[in-house]
Amino acid sequence: MKNFTFYVITLLFSVFVSNAQEFQGEAVYESKTSMEDATKQLDGNKDITPEMRKMIEERMRPMFEKTFILHFDKTASVYEEEQKLDAPGQGGGMFKMMSSMMGGGGKHYKNIKDKRILMEKDIFGKEFLIDDSLPAIKWKMVNETKKIGNYTCFKATANMPVDKTNLMNMRPKKGAEEKIKKLQEEGKEEELRKTNFMDMVEMPEAVEITAWYTPEIPISQGPGNYWGLPGLILEVSDGKTMILCSKIVLNPKDKAEIKELKKGEKVTQEEFAEILMKKIQEMQEMRGGPRGGGHRGMGRP
């Protein structure tokens, strides 16, 4: 019965795609990432008062809670963060730069027919265009359903390669939290300040994800790099970040322009990840170096 249901869904999906020549839709997603790993670094710091901690957390929150809009047709989509005005004292450029490194900013083009992705990225004002193949996802269909809004959704899971261009996917290394806590307890502020950030975190190779898709919108699209199911993905979680669809508009009156991105120096995902890690290392060295401040040019490594 389970396989029969899947075959029916797949058949309806194929019929829909072949006839939906002018079909277009818009989906709004709310993304929330746990701030636990970030705020743990504030624990035990005697220089940070409760008021300061609250202020820091509020300034960090926009990096961990974002709104995205997905414009899609039968074969392609453009996914981008909704732009919001900064509140007074919100931190300006540095927080915007960090937000971009954590999956925000820029546009994300995905073509499921050509199996291709294009992503705009910005580091210190240097624009890059990631041009790469769309990662394959081996989905496992699960016999569970639930309602998201007015749509009936089916569950699927997968072990998916991690997007190494998104710092939000980093995890603390084993023992890193204990090391920081010990330095704080011993009052070794200078040693703590010079601790290399890159030595304390790691990027996992893959992550287990859970997605909920609706065959009622039989488009093989979803937020970010997620795709490949016989229906629009309305919810996806990797245990740390959850992305949930809050609004859908089918065949909107004002259709969006869904086309390939062209702005920025072309690099692969792997090349951009190397550039990103190099710049983070440089920032760390300058922070602990004798001259401090400023930054170097953004040439390729």
Domain ranges of the chain: 2-288
pLDDT of residue 167: 74
Whether 148 and 245 have beta carbons less than 8 Å apart is answered as yes
Q: What is the average pLDDT across 131-160? A: 95
| Least confident piece of the model among 50-64, 105-119, 132-146, 193-207 | 193-207
pLDDT of residue 199: 67
**66-120 per-position pLDDT tens digit:** 999 999 999 999 999 987 655 444 444 555 555 555 555 689 999 999 999 999 9
Pick from 221, 232, 119: nearest CA to 166: 119
Is 2-288 a domain of CATH 2.50.20.10?
yes
Between helix 93-101 and helix 50-64 the angle, nearest 10°, is 50
pLDDT of residue 182: 73
**232-262 per-position pLDDT tens digit:** 999 999 988 999 999 999 999 888 989 999 9
**168-208 per-position pLDDT tens digit:** 777 777 766 677 777 766 776 666 666 666 666 777 778 89
Distance CA 39, CA 60 (A): 9
pLDDT of residue 217: 96
